[in-house]
Amino acid sequence: MRPREAFQVRRSGGPAETRSRGVRRPARIVKIHHELWIAAVVLGVIVVVVGGLWMAGRDRKKEPEAASERKAESDPAERMVWQGPVPPEVVENFTKATTHAERLRWVRHPEEVGPLMERFFREGPGATEKILETVPIGARGSGAMLHENYHVVIENGPPRLISVSVDPQGAKVDFKAYARHGSESWERLLSGEVTSADEMRVLLYPGGFYLHRFADEARWLHFEARSPDLTEPMDFYVDRDSKAAVEMGRIEGTPLQVTVSLRAVEESAKYRQFEITALKAEGWSEP
């Protein structure tokens, strides 16, 4: 008797069969199972790749929509419905105006600033200044109002600032900022003719000069004050414990472009020294 070991029997016209220990296992079934497993793996890979591409395409489609929604939420100006010209047009209309009546249409608080503006362009600096160009320099807040600012290049003269209120009810120029208006003249303050001023527009640089009535460095904080309307710098001081000092401490950048209230302390005017008693506005525009 032959040993019961594995051997193959090939039948005529049929597949080979494998026998082992009396158990019959067709080779075709094993082969088919192997092929089905490979096909399942390939199909799974295809599904994953196609699904991933579909998801990526859907996300890319949603990104512009989401970006638009975020922009609309974060940029209120996008939702504004303007009445009248937008700020760049207002700047052009103001600078190209040739009469007081034309300029009056493009300024904030025309009843208040009208007489000041008329004198400025009739007998003040505006009577002879020639504007060469205006350059946008960005937006800035003043109180609850946002302003678009423009650098104004003047022929043979110091530059000016045009500050336009970003107001959908009607964008307007802040004339006091343009004229660097002060409630008193620098000449009257320096001469001692007047000892205080409620509204003066200056640029402040950090300093370290303590002398005369402001020699106590522990009490006073010093700034060097400059203006295109001054031939030399002045020395301004603010009490370190005052509200004005706290408010000014929150302003970033150098120089500080501010509107302040001033007063002379005894004979300090003759030394070009003044105390800052209040911060009227951050910047030269009215809040």
Task: Sort 154 into a burial class: Cβ within 10 Å, 0-12 / 13-18 / 19+.
Answer: middle
Q: Which residue has the tokens 């080979």?
A: 16
Helices (H) and strands (E) in the chain, counts: 7, 11
- Average the pLDDT over 196-216 and give the result: 97
Q: How far apart are CA 238 and CA 243, in angstroms?
A: 9
Q: Could you tell me the pTM of the whole model? A: 0.72
- Average the pLDDT over 43-72 and give the result: 49
- Average the pLDDT over 261-271 and give the result: 97
- Residue 276, token pair as written in the block: 């800052």
Other beta carbons within 10 Å of 40: 10
SS3 125: helix
Q: What is the DSSP letter of 11?
A: P
Backbone angles phi, psi at 29, to 5 degrees: -65, -45
Query: Where do runs of H (alpha helix) occur along the chain?
Result: 27-74, 87-96, 100-104, 110-122, 175-179, 186-191, 243-249
- Average the pLDDT over 129-144 and give the result: 88
The answer to whether residue 50 scores a pLDDT higher than 50 is: no
The answer to whether residue 62 scores a pLDDT higher than 60 is: no
In the prediction, which pLDDT does 16 show?
Answer: 44
- Residue 166, token pair as written in the block: 């970003």
- Average the pLDDT over 140-146 and give the result: 77
Q: What would the pLDDT profile of 97-125 be if each residue is shown by its tens digit?
A: 999 999 999 999 999 999 999 999 999 99
The pLDDT confidence band at residue 10, using thresholds 50, 70 and 90, is very low
In the prediction, which pLDDT does 38 show?
Answer: 56
Q: How far apart are CA 129 and CA 33, in angstroms?
A: 94
The answer to whether residue 61 scores a pLDDT higher than 50 is: no
Q: What would the pLDDT profile of 170-185 be if each residue is shown by its tens digit?
A: 999 999 999 999 999 9
Angle ∠(94,144,262) on CA atoms, nearest 5: 80
The pLDDT confidence band at residue 81, using thresholds 50, 70 and 90, is confident
The answer to whether residue 47 scores a pLDDT higher than 70 is: no
Q: Which residue has the tokens 């004198």?
A: 119
Residue type, 36: L
Task: Sort 146 into a burial class: Cβ within 10 Å, 0-12 / 13-18 / 19+.
Answer: middle
Is the peptide bond prior to 158 cis by the omega test (within 30 degrees of 0)? no
Between 65 and 141, residue with greater pLDDT: 141
- Residue 119, token pair as written in the block: 């004198």
Q: What would the pLDDT profile of 151-161 be if each residue is shown by its tens digit?
A: 999 999 999 99
Provide the terminal-to-terminal Cα distance of the chain, rounded to the nearest Å.
115
- Average the pLDDT over 218-236 and give the result: 97
The pLDDT confidence band at residue 141, using thresholds 50, 70 and 90, is confident
* Mean of per-residue pLDDT scores for the chain: 82
The answer to whether residue 275 scores a pLDDT higher than 80 is: yes
In the prediction, which pLDDT does 89 show?
Answer: 96
Q: How far apart are CA 163 and CA 147, in angstroms?
A: 6
- Residue 10, token pair as written in the block: 């090939």
Q: How many residues does the chain have?
A: 287
Q: How far apart are CA 237 and CA 96, in angstroms?
A: 40
The pLDDT confidence band at residue 43, using thresholds 50, 70 and 90, is low
